[in-house]
Amino acid sequence: MNGFAAVDFEFARQVLQRGVAALFVVAFVSTLNQFRPLLGEHGLLPATELLEWARSSKRGQRLLRPTLFRRLRYSDRRLVALCVAGVVVAAALVIGIPQLGPPWVPMLCFLGLWFGYMSITSIGQTFYGFGWEMLLLEAGFLAAFLGSDRQPPPTVVTVLFWWLVFRLEFGAGMIKIRGGREWRDLTALMYHHETQPMPGPLSRQAHLLPSWFHRGEVLGNHFSQLIVPWFLFAPLLGLFVPGPVPAIIGAVAAAIVIATQAWLVLTGNFAWLNWMTIVLAFSAIGLPGIGAAHAPAASDPPWTLDGMPVYWLVVTCAVGVLYLVLSWWPLQNLFAQRQLMNASFNRWQLANAYGAFGTVTTQRIEIVVEATTDEDPDAATWREYAFKGKPGDVRRIPRQFAPYHLRLDWLMWFLPLGRSLEDWFTAFLVRLLEADAATLRLLAHDPFAGERPRWVRAVSYRYRFTTREEFRRTHDRWVRDRRRPVMGPVSLRR
């Protein structure tokens, strides 16, 4: 580092800008494919009803976060236009085209992505209530101030990325230590690979590893989330301590974070959470010699300081001051007795609190949706709808979808954890009875090939991975047993 310029972090900037932009592409594509059947004009939870409530209620106006659709009437066509524009701008940033111009060009592009996606999450209700939504927004906001290829990365924004990784990792670690006993007695990962929301193709193999390995996983998790994040700030010592040691310490800390997140990528499907953490961790990897040529003398025209135009230095320092103020609340939260998880302390979702899996469920309960075309539900032959990501067919290998986000499948995992079924699920069953084409496209298989069923019901099953011996005998990857009816049979009135 060289004062205001993080000249050794040019590679980090390239990874951050292009990586964050790539995940915006994924987020907008996911929205393009899923928002309309879930939240569109004829969706399960129509966003138009939320916006109408916000317009007619002072409380609604206060609670609704910033969105383009507060002033601009929502329509599915406008949602599509917003998503397409987001994909185009984000793809340009991945290629690096805006970065070729002055720093305000990529700044405007990232701020456009930030506000455009916030306009979606603000009306996304429970389908957009995940912590990685606000993580993407905050990362997009900070990426706006990394500058362009014409000047070195600003030190203050680079440090703010370290602060984001710290809140993300240390916050998750503190949630676990304060959460379920399984994180303290080192048994959490004896269950997690099996009971996580959406297993991946290697989850069963991970689950079948010996118990000593799972205890080591938990210890490694605590080390990487509670101890390692502090060392991400080590490169700051390079401002005062000569030599490569501070940069090496920061790079090693980042490498540990990346390695642990890569293991989670291999063994689960957590949308873009782990992928974003990997991208953000690269912010602490400084490579001397890359980017040093971007630091002209302070007297070079136009007026520069540490290789950066003064106006850009003022802008980035203002962002630093803003974060200095906003960070007071998440800092308090990190050490609070009742720590909040995935919480925002301001309307713009900056300087948020993060965390995940404070407790781990020990059993996997799945809601299986079945339907029939028979008239008599008591004597009917029931056929099962297949979801894309969540377990169903006991022989099917779980697929890898992350960083893509299957929102319906994720919320299906949460259903058995609640006290009652949510409104969106009732609407979902109605859409199945109507054989709604848009809703059926969210599924992997419709057993009725577009025909309307007569009855539909929901049944809970307990799932567990087969042992190696069971798999050799049956070739099943899951064992399931029926628990109880959850809803139905229900039908539409004729």
* pLDDT beyond 50 at 297: no
* pLDDT beyond 50 at 293: no
Answer whether 146's CB lies under 8 Å from 157's CB: yes
pLDDT score recorded for residue 242: 85
Q: Strand order in 383-384's β-sheet?
A: 383-384, 364-372, 455-465, 478-490
Nearest-angstrom CA–CA distance, 110 and 105: 9
Q: How confident is the model at residue 298 (pLDDT cuts 50, 70, 90)?
A: low
Q: How confident is the model at residue 291 (pLDDT cuts 50, 70, 90)?
A: low
Map residue 465 onto helix, strand or coil: strand
Map residue 36 onto helix, strand or coil: helix
Residue with the larger pLDDT of the pair 288 and 20: 20
Residue 401 DSSP class: -
pLDDT score recorded for residue 468: 97
pLDDT score recorded for residue 299: 44
Residue with the larger pLDDT of the pair 371 and 290: 371
Residue 212 to residues 15, 204, 238, 494, Cα–Cα distance (Å): 36, 17, 40, 59
pLDDT tens digits for range 155-191: 999 999 999 999 999 999 999 999 999 999 999 999 9
Provide the mean pLDDT of the chain: 94
* pLDDT beyond 70 at 58: yes
DSSP string, 230-297: GGGGGGGGGGTS-SSHHHHHHHHHHHHHHHHHHHHHHH---TTHHHHHHHHHGGG---TTSSGGG---
pLDDT tens digits for range 455-476: 999 999 999 999 999 999 999 9
pTM over 0.85: yes
Residue with the larger pLDDT of the pair 241 and 392: 392
Q: How confident is the model at residue 419 (pLDDT cuts 50, 70, 90)?
A: low
pLDDT tens digits for range 132-165: 999 999 999 999 999 999 999 999 999 999 999 9
Q: How confident is the model at residue 240 (pLDDT cuts 50, 70, 90)?
A: confident
Least confident of 16-25, 115-124, 192-201, 418-427: 418-427
Handedness of CA 304, 310, 312, 317 (dihedral sign): positive
For residue 262, give both structure tokens: 């890569």
